Structure 1
Amino acid sequence: MRWSVLDAPLDSSGRGRGEHRAPAALRAAGLLGRVGAADAGTVDALITDPTRDPETGVVGVDRVRNAGRAIAARITALVGAGRHPLVLGGDCAILPGILQGLPAGFDLWFLDAHLDFEDGRSSPTGEAADMDLSIVTDHGPAGVLDREGPLVDPDQVHVLGHRPLDPARSDGREAARIDPAVRLVPATRLRGADATTEGRQLAVGTTPAWLHLDLDVLDPLVLPAVSYPEPGGLDWADLTALARPLVGSGRLLGMSVTDFNADEDPDGRHAERIAQVLADLLAD
């Protein structure tokens, strides 16, 4: 596979958190050389204003929209040239831009601790990273995308590794809102051999697919350097067992990696581990 690394340092909080330094940290850990990837450069995706738009409820909505357009253009060009984009976020707000740039008709393999199915009213933060899955399935706030309708059919979305919502921390509305066609496989069903089985089952077929990895799918005991850690996640072995069949399926259009907070990794050891795991999965 001919991988091309594209940096999309979008931190949708607009507060300058460490996600927007993640691409540089992973490059410094030698990711491109380890994977054998080409350098596709950087997309202008910075958001520097934490103001929440009163109409959409989204922080920095104009910048989110513009960043999405820029990401989409680069994805279209790379895929059209026969490359496989490896997009380094930033946070999950890069996903709508990526999917806008793909040819129609694909599966989405979405590895995340969270459902990301808030909208502009329900999100406690207003961050587009709370809403990316709702946006791409046409359940999010209007006006974030340049076109109407879903970017991916909900019945082609597989959410893998989320944590069931804790009633003590949530009223459960997000789970109730999620489109029932979306397939949910919680982290509790992706331990050990179950992760391998799930990966192999998903890998069957011929439909192209995009693999989205939010690193908070991992347990904070193995990767604490994320912005919204959730206990009960996967370990590195589970993640590798799940992802290896997906990468080897021959169906993959590309992959995105998000939510590494480089500010929480002062000595670079977590960036080193992420780069090594990605190289083990992706290197020719």
Structure 2
Amino acid sequence: MTVTLHGFSWDASSSYARGPALAPPVIRAILFSESSSSYSLSGADAREIISAYDFADLPDDGAEAREAISTRIATTLKAGAKPLSLGGDHSVTYPILRAMKEKHGPLNILHIDAHTDLYEEFEGDRYSHACPFARAIEDGCIGTLVQVGLRSTTPDCRAFGEKHGVVMLGAEEMDAIPYDRLTGPLYVSIDLDGLDPAFAPGVSHPEPGGLSTRDVLQILSALPAAPVGADIVELNPERDINMMTAGVAARFVKELAALMAQ
């Protein structure tokens, strides 16, 4: 199974700071740079797995941008490939999941993040990067949602998650991940602020006390099913240090591509 690498340069749904719209071409530029190999840790060559690249511009209007994202993902799925998407802010995940649901039905999701992204609305925006999983749950896109790395949430988001059976785990609770609930169809969403800023400083909302790069790689290696899709979001190149976070994102691209090709 081949993978299409999508780039969604969108951060108009971000709070506090812009910058993630710059991320997709940055990650693509270093993905196969001479500073590292193209192989995953398991020995799969991402150059062979990633068969197509879709980095087209999005409309400025939010609703039109979401529709364009869903359409591009649907096109990839219709072609028989799996979508691996680079954000952009985390709001891009909702329209991705909308398209994924049409193909696969409700998805079981591993969500790595410092935040639950379960707000009913944030700063008046129901499609904010703080809301994608609330919208996806409402639209029936999700079977099981397992969140790992949480350390910045609210009572309202906790209550919403508990109401809908979301598994909400802190970075210190890796051992409690219910892998038996992460069966297919499986989707993986990695917000880079789920990692500790020591490993991923280039994000708009750094939260101390997060996962390490090795923690995330360990979690991915333990997944019981090959993901049908995945995304990596919230890199802010303007806040990165020596391309550290971009390099982490590139490593995750290679590992996810290898898993998706199984």
Q: TM-score range by the shorter chain?
A: 0.7 to 0.9
Instruction: Give the match for residue 74 of structure 1.
Output: 72
Computed over aligned residues only, the root mean square deviation of the Cα atoms, in angstroms, reads 2.6
Q: 2:53 matched to which residue of 1? A: 40
Distance 2:129 2:152 in 1: 18
1:64 positional shift: 2.2
Tell me how many residue pairs correspond in the alignment: 241
For 1:275 and 1:46, the matched residues in 2 are separated by 26
Q: Give distance in 2, aligned partners of 1:16 and 1:256.
A: 20
Q: CA deviation at 1:230?
A: 1.2
**CA, structure 1 residues 276+68, in 2 after alignment: closer, same or farther (shift >3 Å)?**
same
Structure-to-structure mapping, 1:1-284, within 5 angstroms: 1-11=1-11, 12-13=13-14, 17-31=18-32, 34=38, 35-36=46-47, 37-45=50-58, 47=60, 63-102=61-100, 103=103, 104-120=105-121, 123-124=122-123, 126=125, 128-138=128-138, 150-153=139-142, 155-163=143-151, 165=153, 172-178=155-161, 179-190=163-174, 194=175, 198=177, 200-203=179-182, 205=183, 207-246=184-223, 249-250=225-226, 252-265=227-240, 267-283=242-258
Work out the CA distance in 1 between the residues paired with 2:10 and 2:152: 27
Seq. identity, %: 25
Q: What is the Cα deviation at residue 281 of structure 1? A: 4.5
Sort the Cα spacing of 1:85 and 1:95 in 2 relative to 1 into closer, same or farther, 3 A: same
Residues 82-104 of structure 1, C-alpha deviation per residue, up to 9 Å, x if partnerless?
Answer: 21111000011001110111122
Deviations 1:180-238 (A, max 9, x none): 41122221111xxx3xx7375445x4x31111111111011111111111111100110
Alpha-carbon distance in structure 1 between the residues aligned to 2:135 and 2:65: 15
Matched to 2:141, the amino acid is V
Change (3 A) 1:13 1:46: farther
**Cα distance per residue 1:85-132 (max 9 Å; x no partner):** 110000110011101111223212211110111123xx2474610111
Mark the runs of 5 or more structure 1 residues left unpaired by the alignment.
48-62, 139-149
Deviations 1:48-87 (A, max 9, x none): xxxxxxxxxxxxxxx2221111111111121122211110
Q: Which runs of 5+ in 2 are unaligned?
A: 39-45
The TM-score normalised by the length of structure 1 is 0.76
Question: Contact 2:188/2:229 (CA < 8 Å) preserved in 1?
Answer: yes
Distance 1:96 1:273, change over 3 A: closer
Change (3 A) 1:182 1:199: closer
In the alignment, the residues of structure 1 paired with residue 16 and residue 150 of structure 2 have an alpha-carbon distance, to the nearest angstrom, of 26
Give the Cα–Cα distance (whole angstroms) in 1 for the partners of residues 15 and 160 of structure 2: 26
Structure 1 residue 42: deviation in Å?
Answer: 1.9
CA shift for structure 1 position 45: 3.0
